[in-house]
């Protein structure tokens, strides 16, 4: 009799284990399928943006193949060139982000509350030459930004408005360095704080 109970218990135990194993496999299978679908959609999104980027090239080729206007049509030719240039200028180039690593860490001057500020800064431009200039002048940029951050007090950067004012000052600082090094300061579109920690 005792042997029959043990056999029944051992038969029931594998059934529970098999059910649990099937549930785990089903969940993992679902996650795998969801990941595959998500990956497919992300790659398709990249393909559609690449296709959209290819379209202007085809339009330019079509314009080049179009018959040339006569010499008397100078105004029309100038207008066509202006339209083609306007289309090129209207589309923005891809943004380039340059991280100024490692994060900036400064002490707040005496006082209550937070005593340290840690900020990670990313610079945005659409000009590859300016992006390289930011990378090449990283020590100079870090010095000037470090001086800017160290001059802050805990009270000034505790509010959203204070952080936004600091971000604008950081943008001006980066633009000044780029200008001093012979670059185009207006090519620096934005400065972003990707981490901002006060302790």
Q: Is the same domain home to 167 and 118?
A: yes
Write out the two tokens for 137: 């002048």
Residue 95, pLDDT score: 92
Write out the two tokens for 153: 């007090």
Residue 140, pLDDT score: 94
Report the distance separating Cα 58 and Cα 1, nearest Å.
Answer: 85
Residue 21, pLDDT score: 85
Question: Does 191 score more than 80 pLDDT?
Answer: yes
Q: Is the same domain home to 35 and 110?
A: no
> How many angstroms separate the first and last alpha carbons of the chain?
69
Q: Mind listing the pLDDT tens digit for each residue in 176-188?
A: 999 999 999 999 9
**Mean pLDDT, range 1-5, rounded to an integer:** 57
Question: Does 27 score more than 90 pLDDT?
Answer: no
In percent, the amount of the chain with pLDDT more than 90 equals 42
Phi/psi of residue 28, nearest 5 degrees: -65, -40
Question: Does 24 score more than 70 pLDDT?
Answer: yes
Q: Mind listing the pLDDT tens digit for each residue in 92-127?
A: 889 999 999 999 999 887 666 668 899 999 999 999
Mean pLDDT estimate for the chain: 77
Question: Does 4 score more than 70 pLDDT?
Answer: no
Domain closes at, from 71, 90, 109: 90
Domain extent for 42: 2-90
Q: How many C-beta atoms lie closer than 10 Å to residue 1's C-beta? A: 4
Q: Is the same domain home to 34 and 75?
A: yes
Give the E-state strand segments of 40-115 in sequence order: 96-107
CATH of the domain at 140: 3.30.479.30
Report the distance separating Cα 111 and Cα 113, nearest Å.
Answer: 7
Domain count of the fold of the chain: 2
Q: Mind listing the pLDDT tens digit for each residue in 42-101?
A: 777 655 444 444 444 444 444 444 444 444 444 444 444 444 444 445 678 899 999 999
Give the global pTM.
Answer: 0.53
Q: Is the same domain home to 111 and 82?
A: no
Q: Are 104 and 149 in contact (CB under 8 A)?
A: yes
* Confidence band of 9 (pLDDT split at 50, 70, 90): low
In the sheet where 116-125 sits, what is the strand order? Answer: 96-107, 116-125, 188-198
Give the E-state strand segments of 58-187 in sequence order: 96-107, 116-125
């Amino acid at each position: 009799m005792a042997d029959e109970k043990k056999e029944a218990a051992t038969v029931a135990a594998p059934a529970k284990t098999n059910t649990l194993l099937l549930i785990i496999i089903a969940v993992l299978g679902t996650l795998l399928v969801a990941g595959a679908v998500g990956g497919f959609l992300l790659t398709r999104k990249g393909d559609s943006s690449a296709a959209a980027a290819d379209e202007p090239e085809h339009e330019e080729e079509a314009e080049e193949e179009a018959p040339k206007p006569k010499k008397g049509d100078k105004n029309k030719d100038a207008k066509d060139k202006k339209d083609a240039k306007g289309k090129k200028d209207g589309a923005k180039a891809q943004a380039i982000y340059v991280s100024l690593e490692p994060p900036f860490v400064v002490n707040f001057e005496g006082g209550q509350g937070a005593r340290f500020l840690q900020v990670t800064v990313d610079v945005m431009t659409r000009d590859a030459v300016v992006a390289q200039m930011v990378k090449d002048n990283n020590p100079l940029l870090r010095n000037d930004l470090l001086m800017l951050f160290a001059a802050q007090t805990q009270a000034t950067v505790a509010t959203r408005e204070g952080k936004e004012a600091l971000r604008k000052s950081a943008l001006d600082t980066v633009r000044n360095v780029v200008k001093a090094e012979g670059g185009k300061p207006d090519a620096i579109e934005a400065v972003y704080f990707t981490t901002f920690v006060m302790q």
